[in-house]
Structure 1
Amino acid sequence: MTNYVGSCLCGAVTFEIEAEFESFYLCHCKHCQKDTGSAFAANLFSQTGKLIWCSGEDNISSFTLAGSQHQKSFCKDCGTALPNNHSSGILVVPAGCLDTDVAVIPTAHIFMSSKASWESNVVNIRKLEGLPE
């Protein structure tokens, strides 16, 4: 098993994960677009992963969308998406909340039929190293 550490944007929540990730999906479904405010969610999945909250566990809130399997855990203060033990028994880890580099490459883009209309040509736009001047 590999060890990972992570935290929220404001630093109130920290955690450790011991896991091997079986998959890493970039999900373009409408639910993930809404809860990330972006084109897709980048989530790692582990069937055997162990999640340990190091600090701020009382700062975590969770949301399950009625009538779906869509679940999200997040910091109450800054809104950062955080890992959760999904009701299916799988550990779901938003890749962006990890402070440790992840060597796993994404497995697939999923729910491409729901992708945002503006996402189609993003590969062709200019790329900047920081804020535009």
Structure 2
Amino acid sequence: MNHTYQGSCLCHQITFVVNGFNERAANCHCTMCQKFHGAAFGTLVGVSGLKWLSGVELIKDFTALNGTTRSFCKECGSSLGFRVKDASIEEIELAIALFNYDIPVVIDAQIYTNYRANWSTLQSDIPAFCEGRVL
């Protein structure tokens, strides 16, 4: 049985559909995710079968000094996701909150916790890593 999962930015001008998710998804506490999402952490997930349905021309990229790219909607400012250096827009890890309905994703790690905001607490039931995930 094939499922698709739709999502959008806040203004609904950027819309997309995916047909699957990476098995691993983490709450990232790095300072770039904090600033990009305006929150204690960002929660992103790799996807498969990504198809942009509308608004691709509204996607704006910011490339950090380390070469990673964060994409957002230039109309409403919604954080769309993260890409490693030199990755295409189709390889984006999407912000999990963009999806319109429940998705079959379980957060299995908390990463870059050395940079956790002092007013944020970690979840005791999810493994935490001081830097990136240890494989």
TM-score (norm 2): 0.77
- How does 1:30-41 map onto structure 2 within 5 Å? 30-41=31-42
SS at match of 1:31: helix
CA distance in 2, matches of 1:62, 1:114: 24
The CA distance in 1 between the partners of 2:49 and 2:73, in whole Å, is 19
- The alignment partner of 1:118 has SS state of coil
| Aligned equivalent of 2:110 | 109
Q: Which amino acid aligns with 1:103?
A: P
Distance 2:4 2:16 in 1: 11
Tell me what 2:12 maps to: 11
CA distance in 1, matches of 2:117, 2:82: 26
> How many residue pairs are counted as aligned between the two chains?
120
SS at match of 2:33: helix
The Cα shift of 1:121 comes to 8.6
Aligned-partner Cα distance in 1 for 2:55–2:107: 29
Partner residue of 1:82?
Answer: 80
Structure 2 stretches of 5 or more lacking a match? 125-135
User: What is the CA distance between 1:96 and its match in structure 2?
Assistant: 0.6
Give the distance between the partners of 1:37 and 1:83, measured in 2 at CA.
13
SS in 2 for 1:78: coil
CA RMSD of aligned residues (A): 2.4
In 1, distance between residues paired with 2:82 and 2:117?
A: 26
- Extract structure 1 runs of 4+ deviating beyond 4 A: 83-86
SS at 1:24's partner residue? strand
TM-score (norm 1): 0.78
Bigger Rg, which one: 1
Q: Is the 8 A contact 2:10 2:76 kept in 1?
A: yes
Q: What is the alpha-carbon distance in structure 1 between the residues aligned to residue 83 and residue 94 of structure 2?
A: 9
SS in 2 for 1:33: helix
Identity, % of aligned pairs?
32
